[in-house]
Every structure is written in C-alpha cells, then in structure tokens.
Amino acid sequence: MEEANLSIGQVAGPDRCARLGSALYEEAGLLPPVRREGGKRRYDAETVDRLRLIRFCQEVGFSHAEIRRLLSGPQGRSGKPRWREVVDGKLLEVESAIHRAEAMKKILEEIRDCDCIAPHSCRIIADVVGSPSDR
C-alpha cells in the first residue's frame, strides 16, 4: 500500500466511520480539499497524519473550532504556545466538569437516603435550588 496515495478505505482501516468523517472534516475546514482520482478522494501522508490528529483531538473532547485553532498557523515548536493555550482551556473545562459531577454525585447520594415525604419540604432540594420563599 503506497502511503502517499491512500483511499479513504485504506486510511480508515477497520474504523469505517472515518469514511464519513473525511468529507465532514473538509466541510468543517479541518482538512484542505483532498485530491481526487476517478471521483475518489486520495490521501497523502501529510493528510493521513492530519486525520489522525483530528481523530485524537475528538477523542479527548476538542470541538471542531478548537481543532481548527490547533491546526491553524505555524506547527512544531513555533505553534507550541497556541497548542498549550487551547489544551489549558480544555483542562479547565474538564476540571470544571469533574467538579460539577462530584457535586452532583454527593447530592444524589444524600437525596437517595433522604427521609423527606415531599420535595417541597426537603432540605437538600432547598439547599440546591432555594426554597419558594427565596424567589
């Protein structure tokens, strides 16, 4: 298999969903227009590397806009500050989500064993959303 002239089937391997992704990545501005032969997309080594990076970024939760930002501008050492800034932003987002999930877990554990008969008289609910008299 020639690395510089791969079909999407060869690029996707067993992961056939990449067949759909490549066209969407082009539409989203993540991939430049891919060369075609006989109406079929053909991928060079650089594009395959870019596809792998896009898939990795999606796996760790980056949006298309964040991936576009990561891929724009200079790459390598000169692109490191941009990479760090986007990754640091994603880390803050993940830490915030973890904090919310831990708080939700604690509330759910407390409310599971709550002896309140009605939601309007529950102290736990009132602590989270306030009581009607607070509004």
The tens digit of pLDDT for each residue in 48-88 reads 888 888 989 999 999 999 999 888 877 778 888 888 999 99
Indicate the residue among 67, 87, 117 that finishes a domain. 67
**Are residues 20 and 60 both part of a single domain?**
yes
**Are residues 58 and 1 both part of a single domain?**
yes
Helices (H), ranges, 17-63: 18-27, 45-59
Classify residue 134: in a domain, yes or no. Answer: no
Q: Which two tokens stand for residue 43?
A: 């991928």
pLDDT (tens digit per residue) in 1-44: 445 565 555 555 555 444 446 777 888 888 887 778 887 777 78
Classify residue 40: in a domain, yes or no. Answer: yes
How many domains does one find in the chain? 2
**Are residues 1 and 63 both part of a single domain?**
yes
The pTM (predicted TM-score) of the whole model is 0.63
Q: Which amino acid is at 118?
A: A
Classify residue 107: in a domain, yes or no. Answer: yes
Q: Mean of the per-residue pLDDT values for the chain? A: 79
Q: How far apart are the first and last CA of the chain?
A: 68
Range of the domain at 26: 1-67
